[in-house]
Amino acid sequence: MRPTPEHRFDAPPGYLNTASIGIPPAFVADAVSDSITRWRTGADAAPDFDEHVAQARAGFAALVGVPPEQVASGASVSQLVALVAGSIPDGTRVLTVSDDFTSVTFPFAAQAHRGITVTEIELEKLASTVDQADLIAVSLVQSATGAVLDTSVLREATSAAGVPVLLDVSQAAGWLPLSLDWADWVVGAAYKWLLSPRGAAWLAVRPDALERTRPLAANWYAGEDPWASIYGLPLRLASDARRLDLSPAWLAQVGAAAAIPWLAGLDLGAVRDHCLGLANAVRRGLELPEGGSAITSLALSTDQIGRLRAAGVRFSMRAGRARLSFHLYNTAADVDLVLDALT
């Protein structure tokens, strides 16, 4: 799938590892390369990067379905989740999914000294168990398996029970159309499906949730006017979600500013269909039932894993299984490469 001729990818044949590291379009890599050139020649001043931060923030907001003023900019998922974990009351019962990615769960588990508990449950039982929790924290798409959460069912259940929700969309945003303005917190990383450099992440915060989210990493860039809050007290933070901002990693933000608004402008329904079509073509070729995810997890023998690698297929091993992930730059040729190696 190539949206326009100028949006070229340099992904090698058989690159099925987006769930670990996304490959940028050439124009995104060029934007970062140009920024490095400017850096090495001292051509930029620090405020020059503010526009990139704003563009990346707006792109993430569009992808998850919220206004930009509800989005905080940070460095990693765990850093942003830690703001939530450090803000919830003592004794909060957190419910998550078994073997979810630990950037979602560890920040809460690290609050055990305050009586906060984290309970894991099977994905299919989550919605029916929300009344046993004070907070749900879960990945929308599971990293290890690609299993996709039914957000409509979870929304209905948590709304009826009055339980707040934190969703991690790191394995969803960029290939799956999202409308998550109902969730209290939505967090996502840049470097996978968002095709950006590592070092940027975002947290969408519903206004009522912002009131109970403490700016535990308060810094100058979180000020109402960042360039007027670099020295001295009193504390003067932004009134919107920018109050949770972390001082930006500039080169990561340059890449994100190029990649994410572009992704948000694509027909994400078509992107989803493209990714699912390729993932399911592999599953059909292996006589497995089709799935609903751009990630497919395969139980393979040691010999099969060796044949995949020998064929040049790039993938990850997660939870003892081969994880293949499909994005914009993948084609039917990648499917053939996998099936030729395995059948």
Q: Is 23 within the bounds of a domain?
A: no
Question: pLDDT-derived band of residue 52, with 50, 70 and 90 as boundaries?
Answer: very high
Number of domains in the chain: 2
Residues 220 and 76 in one domain: yes
Q: Is 98 within the bounds of a domain?
A: yes
Percentage of the chain surpassing pLDDT 90? 97
**Does the pLDDT at position 2 exceed 90?**
no
pLDDT of residue 6: 54
* Residue 73 tokens, joined: 């900019």
pLDDT of residue 169: 98
Question: pLDDT-derived band of residue 77, with 50, 70 and 90 as boundaries?
Answer: very high
* Residue 285 tokens, joined: 């070729």
Per-residue pLDDT tens over the stretch 233-288? 999 999 999 999 999 999 999 999 999 999 999 999 999 999 999 999 999 999 99
Residues 328 and 184 in one domain: no
Residues 77 and 192 in one domain: yes
Residues 283 and 177 in one domain: no
pLDDT of residue 7: 73
Q: What are the CB-based long-range contacts (under 8 Å, 24+) for 30-33?
A: 31/254, 31/255, 31/257, 31/258, 32/197, 32/251, 32/254, 32/255, 32/258
Q: What average pLDDT score do residues 41-51 get?
A: 97
> Dihedral of the CA atoms 143, 204, 260, 236 (nearest 10)?
-130
Residues 173 and 291 in one domain: no
Query: Average pLDDT over the chain, rounded to whole?
Result: 96
Q: What average pLDDT score do residues 73-97 get?
A: 98
Q: What average pLDDT score do residues 13-39 get?
A: 97
Q: Which residue has the tokens 């790191």?
A: 170
CATH code (residue 239): 3.40.640.10
Per-residue pLDDT tens over the stretch 158-210? 999 999 999 999 999 999 999 999 999 999 999 999 999 999 999 999 999 99
Please answer whether residues 83 and 201 qualify as being in contact, where contact means their C-beta atoms are separated by less than 8 angstroms. no
DSSP 8-state secondary structure symbol assigned to residue 287: T
Q: Is 281 within the bounds of a domain?
A: yes
Domain that holds residue 300: 268-342
Residues 49 and 90 in one domain: yes
Q: What average pLDDT score do residues 51-74 get?
A: 98
Whole-angstrom distance, CA of residue 108 vs CA of residue 249? 25
Q: Is 19 within the bounds of a domain?
A: no
Q: Is 29 within the bounds of a domain?
A: no
**Does the pLDDT at position 5 exceed 60?**
no
Local structure of 238: helix, strand or coil: coil
Structural domain ending residue among the three candidates 212, 246, 264: 264
Residues 256 and 278 in one domain: no
Q: Is 195 within the bounds of a domain?
A: yes
Residues 140 and 156 in one domain: yes
Residues 190 and 221 in one domain: yes
More confident call, 1 vs 99: 99
**Does the pLDDT at position 221 exceed 70?**
yes
Per-residue pLDDT tens over the stretch 243-257? 999 999 999 999 999
